[in-house]
Amino acid sequence: MAVEGHRPSPIGRGMSTVIRTVVQGVWLGWKVESNWTNPFVFLTYLIAKPIAGVILVGLVFVIGSSASGMGSREDLFFYVFIGAVFFIYPATMTVSLAYLVHEDRAKYESLKHIYITPASLTPYIVGRGMASAINASVSVAVSLIIGSIIFSNHFSLPLSIDVVRVDYPALVASILLGVAASILLGIILYAINLITFKLQYSLAEYTTGVLFLLSGVVFPTSMLPYPASLIGGALPTTHFLNAVREALAGDHAYTSMAYLLLSTLALAVISLACMNRVESLARMKGTIDRKAEY
Amino acid sequence: MYAVETIDLSRVFELKGRRILALDGINIRIGKGEILGLLGANGAGKTTLVKILSTLLLPTSGSAYIHGHDVVRDAKYVRGIINLVSGGETPGYGMLTVRENLWLFSQLYGLSSGIARERIEMLIRDMGLEQYRDVRMHRLSTGYRQRLNLARGFINDPKVLFLDEPTLGLDVINAKHMRRYIRDWVDADGEERTILLTTHYLAEAEEVCDKIAIIYRGRIVAYETPLALKASLSDGVSIQVELLSNRTTKGSIVEEISSRDGVLACMLVPSQNVVEQGDHGGNARYDGSIDGLTRLRIMLDDDSKIPDLVSMLVMNGYRVLSVRRDQPTLEDVYMRYVGSMGNEES
Ligand SMILES: Nc1ncnc2c1ncn2[C@@H]1O[C@H](COP(=O)(O)OP(=O)(O)OP(=O)(O)O)[C@@H](O)[C@H]1O
Ligand SMILES: [Mg+2]
């Protein structure tokens, strides 16, 4: 039986299936991740945890800087605080996409059924990543506001953001690119977890740990030892955080944004190739519907 | 063109240096409008075959076609016209309602919203899920989740539907309903609809299937209509013997009888209780006995062997309560081809 009464051109049809799959992914991700049946747990996860993380980073800064007496305290605080807040995007999204394999495969037993639909996995993952980005945005906004209030009132560290000077178009564009880069990183983790079983939980933790060190969250990548600084410079997360800082400060953000765009494109090539390879590898190894190592 | 065709399909698993030949040169052809029952013991390769045909797993060699389309090269097309339901599983998202779960899949299959809504309502009605339409899945009982799972299998109105032990874990009534439903579903459009169903239950295969394939250690050892399979046994006689004994080693009597001249096969008949358990998905133990009562099903090449057999049993200390001649059943076919109902994994 023909599924639809009239058939649009194959390209239009292909495109619309991809978009529809993304939309389903977003919708499902929102439903699954925003656990309103247990609002307390959900709000803790969405708000309290990221704020705690940001405050921790801030406090380390306060202690560290008072000991070493470095340059302008405000500027450094701005660097660290914004870095920690916006790092919530890659951290949240890579973790949720890395866990997604295990959730769909073992917990909901739905992965094999999603896999055997004509829809591809990649747009589905992209949709799930976008849902995660919505949650991350809430965490970022709340951390930004509450964190800055706490630090300016209790540690006399005002966040020097002049709302009039902020380059909003650059900020929005940087966030969109940062979200895209985070999804692409998440796809790589998804791909690895799809063909393995040992790293279901740990992979995301390791990755966010390494990203935290290499992306210039609390100190510029130039301060890293040689090969690490090179890797840091190639990561879109580094340029994402720089671009956001510059846009917020009203500085010229376009160099960072250009780097962000380039590194995101490179990452897109890598992660789509990964996914492509892994989809057939998983089918060969039979890992799509297996719940554990055989 | 066949609905499903496999040519020398094989699949090898490498497991810790061991090679497991899960499928060994499978050749089957399922015509449109047919229900094929794939019958085999644990580990025989049923699920492996279903996984290859439903594009979840690649074969090691050989090829498989769904409506003429290669499951490996043309997977995208194949996926649009197949679906898969695995019994005993309840896939879906607990926080979504019954309708939302079905909606999700309707969209992944690219159904337009009008058709999707219509079909979802129809399936909800067919599966008796009306009062759970807007109930979140995590609040449904396992049986109702399985109905939802079955409904999902029909969401794209597949041309070929794979059912891997679909009645696993269902109670007797629900299992019966399901068999009736799938038979009616195929018959409603025999030009377009085909089912491959795997099962451990001979009665299930006999009840709904047009053809039966017996799979044993990755090979198809018999492939016929239920009638033809039974007819293939017409050269022998089947008898059912009821014994009473205090002996506890049931295995030895089966072996003893099996090794006798003229005995084609012998097995313990599971008692009613045991069969019920099996229907509920528990591990049926085919020890065939309650309180010392043993039921044996024996196939002989000739009925002149019956008296000898009975006297042998009596001499071994058994009390023979009854001996009954039976029509050959599929059970006999299975015994004949496979030898025992034991676990095949070595
Ligand atoms: N991913 C795998 N890795 C290694 N061996 C496997 C894998 N999947 C299946 N096997 C092996 O292949 C053989 C066939 O398994 P399969 O699951 O197809 O059997 P089955 O007939 O469906 O059995 P059951 O009735 O228990 O469901 C078994 O020996 C099994 O252990
Ligand atoms: Mg199986």
When CB atoms are compared, the residue of A4, A31, A116 closest to B96 is A31
For B247, phi and psi rounded to 5 degrees?
-65, 140
Which chain A residue has its CA at the smallest distance from B11's CA? A284
Q: Do B57 and A3 count as a contact with CB atoms less than 8 A apart?
A: no
B14 CA: nearest ligand 1 atom:
4
Rounded to the nearest angstrom, the minimum Cα separation between A279 and chain B is 10
Residue pair A24/A117 in contact (Cβ under 8 Å)? The answer is no
Q: Do A116 and B112 count as a contact with CB atoms less than 8 A apart?
A: no
Q: Whose CA is nearest to atom 16 of ligand 1?
A: B45
Q: Do B104 and A280 count as a contact with CB atoms less than 8 A apart?
A: no
Instruction: Look at residues B240, B167, B171, B172 and name the one whose alpha carbon lies nearest to residue B209.
Output: B167
Q: What is the DSSP letter of B244?
A: E
pLDDT-derived band at B343, boundaries 50, 70, 90:
very low
Is A72 inside any structural domain?
A: yes
B200 CA: nearest ligand 1 atom:
25
Distance B161 CA to ligand 1 centre (A): 20
* Residue A145 tokens, joined: 């506001």
Distance B164 CA to ligand 2 centre (A): 7
Instruction: Look at residues A150, A47, A33 and name the one whose alpha carbon lies nearest to residue A100.
Output: A33
Rounded to the nearest angstrom, the minimum Cα separation between A61 and chain B is 41
Task: State the ipTM, two decimals.
Answer: 0.87
Say whether residue A10 is in contact with chain B using an 8 A CB cutoff. no
Is A135 inside any structural domain?
A: yes
Residue B42 Cβ contacting ligand 1 at under 6 Å? yes
DSSP one-letter string for B158-194: -SEEEEESTTTT--HHHHHHHHHHHHHHHHHTTTT-E
Three-state DSSP class for B260? coil
Chain A residues closer than 8 Å to B192 by CB: 1
Q: Determine the Cα–Cα distance for residues B183 and B123; give it in Å rounded to an integer.
A: 16
Q: What is the pLDDT of residue A14?
A: 66
- Higher local confidence (pLDDT), A40 or B47: B47
Q: What is the pLDDT of residue B284?
A: 38
Instruction: Look at residues B197, B229, B223 and name the one whose alpha carbon lies nearest to residue B35.
Output: B197
Render pLDDT for B186-239 as a digit per residue (tens, 0 to 9): 999 888 999 999 998 888 898 999 999 999 899 998 898 888 887 776 677 888
Render pLDDT for B66-113 as a digit per residue (tens, 0 to 9): 999 999 999 999 999 999 999 989 999 999 999 999 999 999 999 999
When CB atoms are compared, the residue of A35, A116, A118 closest to B54 is A116
Q: Determine the Cα–Cα distance for residues B336 and B323; give it in Å rounded to an integer.
A: 20
Domain span at residue A249 reads 21-285
Mutation test of the interface with chain B: which of A34, A116, A195, choosing the one with the most B Cβ atoms within 10 A? A116
Q: Determine the Cα–Cα distance for residues A24 and B88; give it in Å rounded to an integer.
A: 26
Q: Whose CA is nearest to atom 5 of ligand 1?
A: B13
Instruction: Look at residues A47, A288, A61, A88 and name the one whose alpha carbon lies nearest to residue A191.
Output: A288
Q: Residue A4 contacts by C-beta under 8 Å, 6 or more apart in sequence?
A: B110, B111, B112, B115
Please name every residue paired with B199 in a beta bridge, in sequence order, or none if there are none.
B39
Looking up tokens 């039921």, which residue turns up?
A: B295
Counting other chains too, the contacts that B132-136 makes at CB distance below 8 Å and 24 or more residues apart are B132/B98, B133/B97, B133/B98, B133/B99, B134/B97, B134/B98, B134/B99, B135/B97, B135/B98, B136/B94, B136/B95, B136/B96, B136/B97
Residue pair B50/B22 in contact (Cβ under 8 Å)? The answer is no
Is A83 inside any structural domain?
A: yes
Which chain A residue has its CA at the smallest distance from B116's CA? A3
Going by their DSSP bridges, the two strands B263-268 and B237-244 should be labelled as unpaired
CB atoms within 10 A of CB B260: 14
Count of all residues that appear for chain A in the document: 294
pLDDT higher than 70, residue B285: no
Going by their DSSP bridges, the two strands B237-244 and B219-224 should be labelled as unpaired
Is A4 inside any structural domain?
A: no
Within chain A, where are the H helices? 10-33, 39-43, 49-68, 73-86, 88-102, 111-115, 121-154, 168-195, 202-214, 226-234, 236-249, 254-285
Q: What is the DSSP letter of B97?
A: B
Q: Determine the Cα–Cα distance for residues B272 and B174; give it in Å rounded to an integer.
A: 18
Asked whether the CA dihedral B245, B247, B248, B252 is positive or negative, the reply is negative
Is A290 inside any structural domain?
A: no
When CB atoms are compared, the residue of B79, B96, B192 closest to A116 is B79
Say whether residue A119 is in contact with chain B using an 8 A CB cutoff. yes
Is A280 inside any structural domain?
A: yes
Is A174 inside any structural domain?
A: yes
Q: Residue B319 contacts by C-beta under 8 Å, 6 or more apart in sequence?
A: B243, B244, B245
Q: Residue A38 contacts by C-beta under 8 Å, 6 or more apart in sequence?
A: none
Q: Whose CA is nearest to atom 3 of ligand 1?
A: B13
Say whether residue B314 is in contact with chain A using an 8 A CB cutoff. no
Mutation test of the interface with chain B: which of A117, A284, A294, choosing the one with the most B Cβ atoms within 10 A? A117
Reported as half-sphere exposure (CB side, CA atoms, 13 A), residue B143 has a value of 12
Q: What is the pLDDT of residue A199?
A: 84
Residue B10 Cβ contacting ligand 1 at under 6 Å? no
pLDDT-derived band at B298, boundaries 50, 70, 90:
confident
Q: Whose CA is nearest to atom 31 of ligand 1?
A: B43
Q: What is the DSSP letter of B341?
A: -
For B226, phi and psi rounded to 5 degrees?
-55, -40
A290 CA: nearest ligand 1 atom:
1
Rounded to the nearest angstrom, the minimum Cα separation between B326 and chain A is 43
* Kind and range of the H or E run holding B333: helix B330-338
- Alpha carbon A168 to its chain centroid, in Å, reads 20
Residue B20 Cβ contacting ligand 1 at under 6 Å? yes
Q: What is the pLDDT of residue A221?
A: 85
Chain B residues closer than 8 Å to A119 by CB: 108-110
Q: Do B94 and A108 count as a contact with CB atoms less than 8 A apart?
A: yes
Render pLDDT for A208-232 as a digit per residue (tens, 0 to 9): 999 999 999 888 888 888 888 889 9
Q: Do B56 and A108 count as a contact with CB atoms less than 8 A apart?
A: no
Percent of chain B with pLDDT over 90: 55
Q: Determine the Cα–Cα distance for residues A247 and A250; give it in Å rounded to an integer.
A: 5
- Higher local confidence (pLDDT), B55 or B40: B55
pLDDT higher than 70, residue B344: no
Rounded to the nearest angstrom, the minimum Cα separation between B13 and chain A is 8
Q: What is the pLDDT of residue A77?
A: 84
Q: What is the pLDDT of residue B304?
A: 86
Q: Determine the Cα–Cα distance for residues B208 and B197; give it in Å rounded to an integer.
A: 9
Residue B48 Cβ contacting ligand 1 at under 6 Å? yes
Q: Determine the Cα–Cα distance for residues A186 and A208; give it in Å rounded to an integer.
A: 11
pLDDT higher than 70, residue B183: yes
Chain B residues closer than 8 Å to A32 by CB: 93, 95
Q: For chain A, how many structural domains are there in total?
A: 1
| A35-49, A111-125, B250-264, B278-292: range with lowest mean pLDDT | B278-292
Instruction: Look at residues B232, B235, B219, B205 and name the one whose alpha carbon lies nearest to residue B338.
Output: B219
Render pLDDT for B110-166 as a digit per residue (tens, 0 to 9): 999 999 999 999 999 999 999 999 999 999 999 999 999 999 999 999 999 999 999
Q: What is the pLDDT of residue A261?
A: 97
pLDDT, chain B, mean:
86
Which chain B residue has its CA at the smallest distance from A37's CA? B95
Residues of chain A under the 50 pLDDT cut? 1-10
Render pLDDT for B3-15 as a digit per residue (tens, 0 to 9): 999 999 999 998 8
Is A2 inside any structural domain?
A: no
